[in-house]
Structure 1
Amino acid sequence: MHAVLTFDAGVAVAVDGETVSVAEAVRELNFRAGVVRSSLGTVALRVARMALPSGSGEVDVALYEGRVVGLVARSEESLYDFAS
């Protein structure tokens, strides 16, 4: 499962460009990962947020077998440019 999470000032505000609340983001991530009553969505949000030094930007996350297995972060304050 793959998703792009958007954060503004440390708060998740969108999943794949769709505006959501934090609770909706958790439910959507759990749904896409095929899990119900799991903390996977919450863990994915926390790990993604930690990848953004400023708390704002986008993070591509990949979830597989109940784990966060991939992250790519993009932010205005990023030290690296992953686009090239």
Structure 2
Amino acid sequence: MHAVLTFDAGVPVAVDGETMTVPEAVRELNFRAGVIRSSLGSVALRVARAALGPGSGEVDISLHEGRVVGLVCRSEESLYDFAS
């Protein structure tokens, strides 16, 4: 499962361009990963937020077998370009 998470000042505000609240984002990520009663969505958000830092930007995540297996961060505030 792949998704693009958008953060504004460190707060997740959208999944694949669709604006949603944090609880909605967690539910959406869990639903897409097929793990409705799991903490995978919240773990994915925390990992993505940690990779991006406190600023704004996007993080591409890949989830596989209940784990976050890929991250690509894009932020105009970053000193580095993490795109692969």
TM over 0.5, shorter chain? yes
The alignment's TM-score, normalised by the length of structure 1, stands at 0.93
What are the Cα deviations for residues 11-49 of structure 1, in whole angstroms up to 9, with x where unaligned?
110000000000000000000000011000000000000
Gaps of 5+ in 1: none
* TM-score where L is the length of structure 2: 0.93
Give the structure 1 partner of residue 46 of structure 2: 46
The number of residue pairs the alignment matches comes to 84
Identity of aligned residues (%): 85
Aligned to 2:22: 22
Question: 1:67 and 1:54 mapped to 2: Cα distance?
Answer: 23
The RMSD of aligned alpha carbons is 1.4
What do the CA deviations read for 1:43-67 (whole angstroms, capped 9, x no partner)?
Answer: 0000000111233100000000000
Q: Which runs of 5+ in 2 are unaligned?
A: none
